[in-house]
Amino acid sequence: MTLFGVIGAMEVEIALLLQKMEETAAVKTSQRASLTFYEGEIGKAALVLVKSGIGTVNAALCAQILISEFKVSHLINTGIAGALSKNLGILDVVLSTDAVYHDFRVTGFGYKPCIIPGMEKSVFSADSKLIEKAKNAYTSAHFVHNLYTGRIATGNIFIDQTSEKARIISDVRDLDGIPPIAVEMEGAAIAHVASVNQIPFLIIRSISDTADESIEKGEYKEEEAAKISSFIVQSILED
């Protein structure tokens, strides 16, 4: 049986999905580790929806509970992100091909930035079938913005400086020549947990900002971006 675990870090990232669940079926609510989990359906798909809280530890904790206690078969992370690629515009959508931590640094022992010592891999690959389902969902919705696939960079830092943005791009690209196209604060942790548990995952992020000083000028589209990402998840589940 397919059971989706859907994670958003903030209320705005899960609100539309929860509303849709409450419209279509009874929703069961339960508590684990100070988190609220919502069990229900969207379309014919069963899911467990949860707001993880911001950051990698919150996201990892949440993902493992979904796998260990709720026995989800797939994980989807929905939400917003900052653009690293110059091609990305505000409210464009990114589907993860893979994810990496941009703030993992053990360079004093000879490791490249972003490498996790002792692990077989430090780049976590998303599920190709989920990527295709998300592409189809996006196409059927007729959004006016653009869809991209690419690498997501994750860290416990809100990126709003050009210098920090450039460092992330450089560090991640040095791993294997592939640059990240978007940056956020939870995706790689969810991907990490999914990977070690052999659970298919996908990160879906709509671009809220350009991860630089423009945020100080009010160029930040949190709510609009969150709605777009949520709608794609909804479309995947209703397919």
What is the number of other CB atoms lying within 10 angstroms of the CB of residue 144? Answer: 5
Q: Give the residue from 123, 104, 228, 223 showing the smallest Cα distance to 168.
A: 104
The torsion angle over the Cα atoms of residues 13, 14, 20 and 22, rounded to 10 degrees, is -150
Token output for 69: 């206690």
Distance (Å, whole) CA 50 – CA 31: 10
In this structure, are residues 221 and 151 in contact, taking their beta carbons and an 8 Å threshold? no
Beta carbons of 28 and 40 less than 8 angstroms apart: yes
Q: What is the dihedral of CA 200, 204, 210, 216, to 10 degrees?
A: -110
Look up 209 and say whether it is catalytic: yes
* Conformation bin of residue 138: beta by default, left when phi > 0, alpha when psi is -120 to 50: alpha
Q: Is 222 a catalytic residue?
A: no
Element (H, E) at 205: strand 201-209
Q: For residue 93, what are the β-bridge partners?
A: 147, 206
Q: Which of 127, 171, 186, 209 is catalytic?
A: 209
Euclidean distance between CA atoms 189 and 183, whole angstroms: 13
Helices within the chain (DSSP H only) = 11-24, 56-68, 128-141, 162-176, 187-196, 222-238
Q: Which residues pair with 148 in a beta bridge?
A: 94
Active site residues per annotation? 13, 209
